[in-house]
Homo-oligomer: A and B are copies of this chain.
Amino acid sequence: MTRTRTQPKPASPPIARKTGKSPDVESSPDTRARLIDAAGEEFAEHGFAKATVRDICARAGANIAAVNYHFRDKETLYLETLRHAHRYSIEHYPHHGGLKPDAPAKDKLRAFVRAFLAKMLDCKRPKWHGRLISREMTEPTPALTLLIEEGVRPQFGALCAIVRELAPSVKGDEMEACAASVIGQALHYHHCNSMIKRLYTERKDGFPFDLEFLTDHITRFSLAAFDGLERGAREKNKNRRTNNS
């Protein structure tokens, strides 16, 4: 039980930060960054439980002990990787999609849907970000709180604002359910990706759903729904007025 490392307590392992030299950069940017990258791919592909530290280190070209040196343990590495993916996500895919706040609500909805789908489906540089985040939704770990408060809640709020513009007569729980309907449509292609692909394996023309097609469909479907809901509310109002008078 003799400890030779710098830390006196097992509760505060190395983690190697702030060497005193580079003030703003974390130590060993090389290995540490490569580990996060490799961990992201492994975690996204196999999930937290089945991803092994050995594979992660092998992919990163690092020693097995690297994970426990740079991060405390596998779980901390996971949390840090998730944080990284999440930061990247909210930086590169703003929900307004570059639109001004006074843009037409329809355009804002389309931009939101596109950004949401892109975040999940688009296989840009770090293609594991989406899978990692959605995995956290399906089987939450303690890291879920971070995602919700910083990512989900603001985005959901923004979508609710758009919904209020498009269907002002819908209020309360119904309004939030409408927002959930939009998100649900988009997430479906992410969660059930493997199943949907399997459903279409026999088709000669392959998988027909790309980012453009899906953005188009979901926007049109949702706009049609909002339109119909508003129309229904107007008619109900009319009926009530004629009945009352």
Interfacial residues, chain A to chain B (CB-CB below 8 A): 47, 49-50, 135, 137-140, 144-145, 148, 152-153, 156, 173-174, 177-178, 180-181, 183-189, 191-192, 194-196, 198-199, 208-209, 213-214, 217-218, 220-229, 231-232
Contacts and interface: CB of A to CB of B under 8 A. Distances in A.
Given A178-B221, A229-B221, A229-B224, A137 B191 contact: yes
Given A138-B191, A198-B148, A224-B228, A217 B174 contact: yes
Number of copies: 2
Given A139-B47, A174-B217, A191 B187 contact: yes
Given A209-B173, A228-B224, A229-B220, A192 B198 contact: no
Given A187-B184, A198-B148, A232 B221 contact: no
A152 B197 CA distance: 12
A188 to B, nearest CB: 3
Interface centre among A139, A208, A220, A224, by most chain B C-beta atoms within 10 angstroms, is A224
Nearest to A203: B173
A107 to B, nearest CB: 17
Contacts of A232: 224
A29 B172 CA distance: 51
B137 A194 contact: yes
Contacts of A145: 198
Given A148-B199, A225-B225, A217 B138 contact: no
Nearest to A195: B137
A187 B192 contact: yes
